[in-house]
Structure 1
Amino acid sequence: MCKNEMRIHDTDERDRLYGNLVEATGENTKSGALDAAARYYLQMRGGSAAVPTGAVTELMRAAEERGSLTGAEIAEILTTDELRIRFETSWSVDSQ
């Protein structure tokens, strides 16, 4: 059995970046956080066999076709398993 290993040179900046990524993704490990970030990037960018058309392309196409999009429509296009996007709006009128 052949095992492919990837070694990444650790720097202070990279260590901080990976720590922030672990925190932001809610993953427990650097490798889990990197996997989540890679999946998200591929889903946003597209252009791969796994995801031919990314969400950013879909968003831009929808904006061109419709002329404008609501926050809810944008959230629907950009949400993924790795990063759920919820749109909420509220307003109020102050009496003073």
Structure 2
Amino acid sequence: MRIQKTDARERKWKYLKEATGESTVSGALDAATDYYLKMRGDTTAQPKGCVPELIRRADQEGSLTAAEIAEVLDVDEMSLEYQSTWNIGG
């Protein structure tokens, strides 16, 4: 398969390689595809997606904390964690 290279695509592929940590366009596209499928779901390969799960939990529980949201959206392709710090005083 060949994809026509345009200036806009080259820029996107460059940024995608940076964002995924992949050294090749094909590796970056694979990582991005895996991430998208895990977020979206509704496929034979990935029947349960993270975004639908997040919406389901929010509907059931009424609201979620930032830590709970990060827990649902954390996947191997793009790890996500939540940290909170407090600073009282001057």
Shared fold (TM-score, shorter chain, > 0.5)? yes
- What is the CA-CA distance between 1:94 and the residue it aligns to? 2.5
- What is the CA-CA distance between 1:77 and the residue it aligns to? 0.5
Of 13, 17, 31, which aligns to 1:18? 13
Task: Report the equivalent of 1:34.
Answer: 29
Of 31, 41, 60, which aligns to 1:65? 60
C-alpha separation between the residues in 1 aligned to 2:74 and 2:88? 31
User: Unpaired segments of 5 or more residues in structure 2?
Assistant: none
Answering whether residue 38 of structure 2 is matched by residue 81 of structure 1, we say no
- What is the CA-CA distance between 1:85 and the residue it aligns to? 0.2
C-alpha separation between the residues in 1 aligned to 2:31 and 2:74? 13
Residue correspondences, number? 90
Residue range with higher mean Cα deviation, 84-93 or 16-25? 84-93
C-alpha separation between the residues in 2 aligned to 1:66 and 1:47? 23
Q: What amino acid does structure 2 have at the position aligned with 1:37? A: A
4+ residue runs of structure 1 moved beyond 6 angstroms?
none
C-alpha separation between the residues in 2 aligned to 1:94 and 1:33? 45
* Percent identity of equivalent pairs: 53
Of 47, 54, 58, which aligns to 2:49? 54
Q: Please give the TM-score of this superposition, normalised by the length of structure 1.
A: 0.91
User: Unpaired segments of 5 or more residues in structure 1?
Assistant: 1-5
Please give the root-mean-square deviation of Cα atoms over the aligned residues, in Å. Answer: 0.7
Bigger Rg over Cα: 1
C-alpha separation between the residues in 1 aligned to 2:43 and 2:87? 45
